[in-house]
């Protein structure tokens, strides 16, 4: 794959999407991870004067914000930092949710971040650029109406291994590229442990249909069970007569 060509195609596509929507730029959530870093870098090339990164710690590993700032400063990305920890805890208080199942609580975080990004998008007439890659979209490894609630998905056509190669071209710091992928939902959480499949195995299956029986079974189960995330909600239609 010619990654320079891919980069130019995505940058042009971002410009086209923003112009078509009558918007002025882009806003991206910066997590300190490789996907958000690549999307932020692409958006910065598309809109160097109207691209905003938003760092949103929420009971997070402090290294997330440190790496996000490192990227923003290296690539000259304008950014805001909004600590959502107290907002998250207040919501849990309001719904008496402190003893709720871990995932029910964890998914609040990306939904608060989505709300924050759309505030900045509305304030500036920007589009929210999502950070989902093809591997995540295939398996449904995103929170419905959380990090899945976006206007455009610039890297949605690239599997994780391809995103990693593009990151090198975009001068993303090695400290981010080599970091184990995590959604940052709770301490010590990693993508691959939660999915029970490695990105290398998953990418090989998505791109070439290759993999062990276990890989095929896990990948297809994840894809099937998350189908509702990729579709609009069913709408009841009244039948006449």
136 among known catalytic residues? yes
Torsion angle in degrees (nearest 10) through CA of 195, 196, 199, 202: -90
Helix segments in the chain, DSSP class H: 3-20, 34-46, 62-75, 85-94, 102-106, 108-124, 134-139, 160-169, 174-177, 191-195, 199-208, 213-225, 227-230
Short-list 27, 67, 55, 60, CA closest to 154: 27
35 among known catalytic residues? yes
Please, what is the end-to-end C-alpha distance for the chain in angstroms?
56
10-to-153, 161, 165 alpha-carbon distances in Å = 10, 17, 14
* C-alpha 154: how far from chain center: 10
- Catalytic, out of 136, 147, 191, 203: 136
Catalytic residues: 35, 136
């Amino acid at each position: 794959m010619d990654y320079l060509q891919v980069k130019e195609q995505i940058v042009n596509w971002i410009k086209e999407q923003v112009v078509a929507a009558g918007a002025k730029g882009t806003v991206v959530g910066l997590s300190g991870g490789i996907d958000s870093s690549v999307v932020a870098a692409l958006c910065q090339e598309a809109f160097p004067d109207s691209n905003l990164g938003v760092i949103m710690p929420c009971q997070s590993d402090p290294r997330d914000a440190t790496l996000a700032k490192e990227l923003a400063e290296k690539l000259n990305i304008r950014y805001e930092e909004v600590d959502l920890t107290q907002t998250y805890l207040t919501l849990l208080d309001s719904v008496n949710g402190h003893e709720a199942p871990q995932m029910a609580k964890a998914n609040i975080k990306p939904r608060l971040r989505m709300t924050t990004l759309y505030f900045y998008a509305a304030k500036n007439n920007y589009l929210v650029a999502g950070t989902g890659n093809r591997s995540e979209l295939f398996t449904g490894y995103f929170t419905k109406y959380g990090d899945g609630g976006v206007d455009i998905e610039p890297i949605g056509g690239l599997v994780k291994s391809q995103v990693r190669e593009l990151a090198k071209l975009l001068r993303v710091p090695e400290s981010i590229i080599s970091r184990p992928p995590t959604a940052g939902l709770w301490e010590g959480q990693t993508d691959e442990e939660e999915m029970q499949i490695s990105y290398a195995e998953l990418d090989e299956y998505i791109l070439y249909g290759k993999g062990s029986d276990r890989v095929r079974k896990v990948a297809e189960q994840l894809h099937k069970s998350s189908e509702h995330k990729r579709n609009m909600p069913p709408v009841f239609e009244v039948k006449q007569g």
